[in-house]
Amino acid sequence: MKMNKAKVEEKQEIGKTKFTKEIEEFIPPAHVSTDMYDIEATSGDLSLLSKYHYKFKQDYQATHVVRPGTTEELSNLMKKCREYSIPMTIRAAGSSCYSSSTPTNGGVIIDMRRMDKIYEIDANNKTVRCGAGISWLRLIEALLEYGLGPKCYPTSYKSSCVGGFVVTSGKVGIGVLKNGIMKDAIKSVVLVKTDGSVETISRNSQGDLSLDDIIGSFGIFGAVAEVELQVSSLYTSMEMIGYSFKTFKMAVEFFRILKNNDTNRPFFLSLSDKNFEKYAHWTFPSRTYFVYAVYSDDPSATSQGVSFAKDAALKLDGLGIEDWYLKEKWRNLADTELNIGRWCQNLIFQEYWVSDNRIEDFYNFYTEKISKQKYRNAFYLMSGAKGGNRIKLFGLSDIKNSREFFGIKAVFNDITINNYKNKDNLYTLGVVNTFYFLKYDPERAEYLRKLKNKLDPEDLVNSYRLVKAKMRPWRVGLLFWIAKLLY
Amino acid sequence: MNEKVSEDVKKVVTSGPTVSGMFAPDQENLVEPTSKSEEDYERCTQCGYCRLVCRVYNTTYAERDYAGGRNRILKSLKKKEIAFDKEKIIDAIYQCMLCGNCRTVCPSGIDTLEVFQTYRRTAVRKGVMPEKLQILKNSILTNKNPFLESGTDRFNWCDSQSCNEGHKAYERGAEHARKIAFGELKPSDIEEHLVGYFVGCTSAYRNNELSTATSRILDKMGVKFIVFPDEYCCGSVLFRTGLEDDAIELVHYNVDMIRKLGVNEIVFSCAGCFSTFTTEYNKFTEGDLGFELSHMVQFVPKVAKQKGLKIRYTKRTKEDPLIVTYHDPCHLGRYCNVYDEPRELIDMIEGVKLIEMKHNREMSWCCGAGGGVRALYGEISTDIASTRLDETVACWEDINEDRLKEAIETNAEVLVSACVFCKNNLHLAASQTKPDLPVIDLSQILEDCEFY
Ligand SMILES: Cc1cc2nc3c(=O)[nH]c(=O)nc-3n(C[C@H](O)[C@H](O)[C@H](O)COP(=O)(O)OP(=O)(O)OC[C@H]3O[C@@H](n4cnc5c(N)ncnc54)[C@H](O)[C@@H]3O)c2cc1C
Ligand code: SF4
Ligand code: SF4
């Protein structure tokens, strides 16, 4: 991956003086920003840690934020960056956290969100072609006019962008259980590769990259400029149900029954503990564990699903949750995770991919850990399509208490290692947790590394994601070992 | 979609996350701003929800320009992670209309307006002063208006020929003031409910059609109002742009002047003056102004009801009404919660029919003029030397055009508002892109009405 360092620096030096002017020839100057406040605002993501990665060393700080508006502008920009060996960080709404869209190598932040146009909605064939930088909310609103809706989308839809969901895993969210994951909905993507060349990639593509390579690539192979999606007709009825349970075991059993009911699959399905409910809402029901499901279909299928759930809940001593609360819950779905951030200045979280049959084991391991290290915590599981789920663990830490902060991180570290050992993994990866992936999924990492070397030999695009880590596992291990001792 | 299906879908989507229910301000956890802390930005979770409603962000696409981005900058400034450069920071501070839409949707309940006005104030104290702002400030302090106009020309709009109703009100005001000054009349002796019309600088110097229409409407309704011969600028621009320290003197001056006259109720045609009195004037007098405040859109329906008056638009009929759409000015709506009264008023007018735009009431799009943006960035539009500013200005124009697009989608014949700044800004955009769409103030419709 290494190129002659002196040569790279020489190219970068030349670039410094010419670069801005040259890109302003094909991108409107208002969208080529060197304003330090603009760079600051565009560098972080929702999590607190990300900024340490671009502030830790001056070199990490980006010098430009550039906002291409078309595939052509994007392609020319990436070609220019390559010409002068300027690192690039692709960014959308920054909702995926873990510093996944934070600069780590200086250079240019490519902000994708000007690429927010809808090029075509084909109501007959139920497809849409749009810029990857469009937010889900805008896309949903536009499709609505045609009686259509995305097959699936993340619960961060109020801010996140279509391209962001494509290149992260796109395996959990609204609609996935019923309609399949993001990968199933993609017909094709237009990718601007790391050298600036443009390629349309669909299921049958024979080039260097397949659709599978791009999904979950976290942008290391280039920027997705356009996305063509299969969408579906909007359902004509929708109902939410919610039951609370005394034990985790019963809650999981109920969850599984709903998940495996192939006749009426929920449109959305989650399981949470009472802490999550408490921190996520102003008002919340009693009891300890909660399963929520949304059924959406034609009216008869919806009511079938609802009565199926009711019967199952009865058998497991599930206590129905009041209608008014369910209504709020559904309307607030996007906010719930974020609301936890209101309770502390230093919210820590980790997202795990956990297979259906391992949920209890995961939970037992987790409760054992938190019984030893007490901190304000919350547990939230969102169903993926059949087979797996995203579990998000939260630690609400006090900004002034660094021992608590590192203590919580140490708990998450143990859980991560345990999860990998049991053949599960992390759900979202970014700069801060890539080292786990490298250590515990070496085969996949090696495959990606080879591809990356071939396509991006200078490692200019989204460096320090998936194929190279900023942190060393032994250092992190040592740090957490000390943290546990101190906490 | 057939109609039945479309109805069903509508029900579904408005009860769940898909569609604008997601930004419905009545959501459980869209809380009222919980504190007025100057450092409320600390509580910003950077969720990005306000990005989608920010007209500035949706024009510039710069993360710096929406509330969450600005909050992030504030956090970094506080921690001294970035430098405070009084020149370079200007755009990061002032490219915001203070429209308040971010506040409406913030799930953390952050009072973004309070935060950003404080930010501006602190910045000014640290020496930030855009050139145009300096000129504006000097003019207000010297001439008591922001337009570099002479203070003595303030009442040129109401000479007996241009607006006799205004002229009479001015004379009544002058006589009233004289009597009070010479002790011929004590405020406590005034028996009637005395109404004063606070004209405001823009209607006095630039948009006489508003002051004229207002005077005529009040006259037609039989309200014996006065105009204040000693009125000064209300200071709205100063408050919005961080020059609060200079504005306080104006607050005290105007309040004293009005109190001395024993006026019971002030009527405003300017949404900016109205909101400044409602918020800042109330704040600096600790909620004890001593007189009531009404914008014309509140005053007219109130008096019409009291007097049992009906309103008829003389240029159209009930059967063939003028179709209007109403643009909620931020200063009436999000600042003062005045949403129902203008709609009620339009409903009262026979011969006029209201159609709503998609973004209305709490979620109304800003016209692009507020927060000093027009003053600071509008005129720089001519400065072709700076491509960056050129683009920025083009963006403001885009904001206006977008708002107009919505008006066109409703098939309205006329876009009405109740704020002179909205009217001017939207009118400017219309003259360039939609010359067939008249943009007027509601008072201009009322001027052509019969009260009976
Ligand atoms: C409240 C909340 C709820 C969430 N719910 C879900 C959920 O239900 N399901 C789920 O899977 N995730 C969820 N997430 C995680 C996150 O929202 C998603 O991963 C989202 O799709 C990221 O989109 P974004 O636009 O924010 O991308 P960013 O966070 O900006 O970017 C994510 C990664 O993709 C890269 N990238 C972005 N755009 C492009 C592009 N066009 N081309 C190439 N690379 C690109 C970036 O470099 C980065 O590596 C949630 C997060 C939050 C905060
Ligand atoms: S006040 Fe209006 S213009 Fe300013 S950040 Fe908020 S939404 Fe944007
Ligand atoms: S909505 Fe509120 S919490 Fe979210 S980014 Fe905007 S200001 Fe911050």
Q: Which residues in chain A are closer than 8 Å to B392, comparing Cβ atoms?
A: 30
N-to-C CA span, chain B: 47
Three-state secondary structure call for residue A332: coil
Most A CBs within 10 A among B10, B18, B59, B391, hence the mutation to make, goes to: B18
Q: Which of B8, B17, B47 sits opposite A236 (nearest CB)?
A: B8
Q: Average the pLDDT over A227-235 and give the result.
A: 94
Q: Which of A217-221, A419-423, A429-433, B356-360 has the lowest mean pLDDT?
A: B356-360
Q: Average the pLDDT over A349-368 and give the result.
A: 96
Distance CA(A86)–CA(A108), nearest Å, equals 7
Q: How many CB pairs under 8 A join A and B?
A: 172
What pLDDT is attached to residue B403?
59
8 A C-beta contact, residue B370 and residue B120: no
Q: Which residues in chain A are closer than 8 Å to B23, comparing Cβ atoms?
A: 158
Q: Tell me the two tokens of residue B132.
A: 């145009």
Kindly report the protein residue whose alpha carbon is nearest to atom 2 of ligand 1.
Answer: A156
Nearest-CA residue of chain A relative to B21?
A331
- Contact between A159 and B51 using a beta-carbon 8 Å cutoff: yes
* Residue ranges per structural domain of chain A: 5-112, 114-233, 237-426
ipTM for this model: 0.93
Second-level CATH architecture of A237-426: 3-Layer(aba) Sandwich (3.40)
* Residue ranges per structural domain of chain B: 3-128, 150-306, 309-451
Three-state secondary structure call for residue A98: coil
Topology of the domain covering A114-233: 3.30.465
What pLDDT is attached to residue B400?
55
What pLDDT is attached to residue A326?
85
* Mean per-residue pLDDT of chain A: 91
Hey, is the C-beta of B380 within 8 angstroms of any chain A C-beta?
no
Q: Which of these, A425, A439, A449, lies nearest to A476 by C-alpha position? A: A439
Ligand 2 binding site (Cβ under 6 Å of any ligand atom): B 50, 53-56, 66-67, 96-102, 112, 366
Most B CBs within 10 A among A39, A139, A233, A331, hence the mutation to make, goes to: A331
CATH code reported for the domain at B3-128: 1.10.1060
- Contact between A41 and B64 using a beta-carbon 8 Å cutoff: yes
Spelled out in words, what is the top-level CATH class assigned to the domain B309-451? alpha beta
What pLDDT is attached to residue A16?
72
- Contact between B392 and A331 using a beta-carbon 8 Å cutoff: no
β-bridge pairing A118-122 and A127-131: antiparallel
Per-residue model confidence as pLDDT tens digits over A268-295: 999 999 999 988 887 777 789 999 999 9
Q: Which of these, A109, A214, A77, A93, lies nearest to A158 by C-alpha position? A: A93
Q: Which residues in chain A are closer than 8 Å to B108, comparing Cβ atoms?
A: 341-342
Distances (CA, A) of A438 to A144, A170, A434: 42, 21, 6
A402 Ramachandran zone, left/alpha/beta (phi>0; psi -120 to 50): alpha
CATH code reported for the domain at A5-112: 3.30.43.10
Could you tell me how far CA A206 lies from the centroid of its own chain? Answer: 27
Distances (CA, A) of B25 to A99, A156, B112: 31, 18, 15
Ligand 3 center–CA A261 separation, angstroms: 39
**Fold agreement (B150-306, B309-451):** yes
Q: Is the pLDDT of residue A438 over 50?
A: yes
Q: Tell me the two tokens of residue B254.
A: 């105007």
What pLDDT is attached to residue B422?
85
Per-residue pLDDT for chain B (452 aa), expressed as one digit of tens each?
Answer: 445 555 555 554 443 333 333 444 444 344 444 555 667 898 888 889 899 888 889 888 999 999 999 999 999 999 888 999 999 999 999 999 999 989 888 888 889 999 999 999 999 999 999 998 999 999 999 999 998 999 999 999 999 889 999 999 999 999 999 999 999 998 888 888 999 999 999 999 999 999 999 999 999 999 999 999 999 999 999 999 999 999 999 999 999 999 999 999 999 999 999 999 999 999 999 999 999 999 999 999 999 999 999 999 999 999 999 988 888 999 999 999 999 999 999 999 999 998 887 778 888 888 888 887 677 655 322 221 222 122 222 323 444 566 566 666 666 688 889 999 888 888 887 777 677 778 899 999 999 999 99
Residue tagged 């929406």 (tokens): B66
Q: Which residues in chain A are closer than 8 Å to B63, comparing Cβ atoms?
A: 38, 41-42, 65, 111
* Sign of the CA dihedral running B215, B219, B220, B222: positive
A449 Ramachandran zone, left/alpha/beta (phi>0; psi -120 to 50): alpha
DSSP string covering A425-487: EESS--TTTHHHHHHH-HHHHHHHHHHHHHH-TT--BSTTSSSS-SS-HHHHHHHHHHHHHH-
Q: Tell me the two tokens of residue B82.
A: 């970035």
* Sign of the CA dihedral running A162, A163, A164, A168: positive
What pLDDT is attached to residue B401?
61
Kindly report the protein residue whose alpha carbon is nearest to atom 8 of ligand 2.
Answer: B54
Hey, is the C-beta of B40 within 8 angstroms of any chain A C-beta?
no
Question: Which of B 62-81 lie inside 8 A of A, CB atoms?
Answer: 62-64, 69-70, 72-73, 76, 81
Q: Which of these, B35, B18, B21, lies nearest to B108 by C-alpha position? A: B35
Topology of the domain covering B150-306: Rossmann fold (3.40.50)
Distance CA(B66)–CA(B54), nearest Å, equals 6
Hey, is the C-beta of B18 within 8 angstroms of any chain A C-beta?
yes
Distance CA(B400)–CA(B134), nearest Å, equals 26
Hey, is the C-beta of B12 within 8 angstroms of any chain A C-beta?
yes
Instruction: Give A474's contacts (C-beta < 8 A, 6+ positions apart).
Output: none
Distance CA(A333)–CA(A157), nearest Å, equals 10
Distance CA(A266)–CA(A438), nearest Å, equals 35
Q: Which of B61, B81, B88 sits opposite A113 (nearest CB)?
A: B61
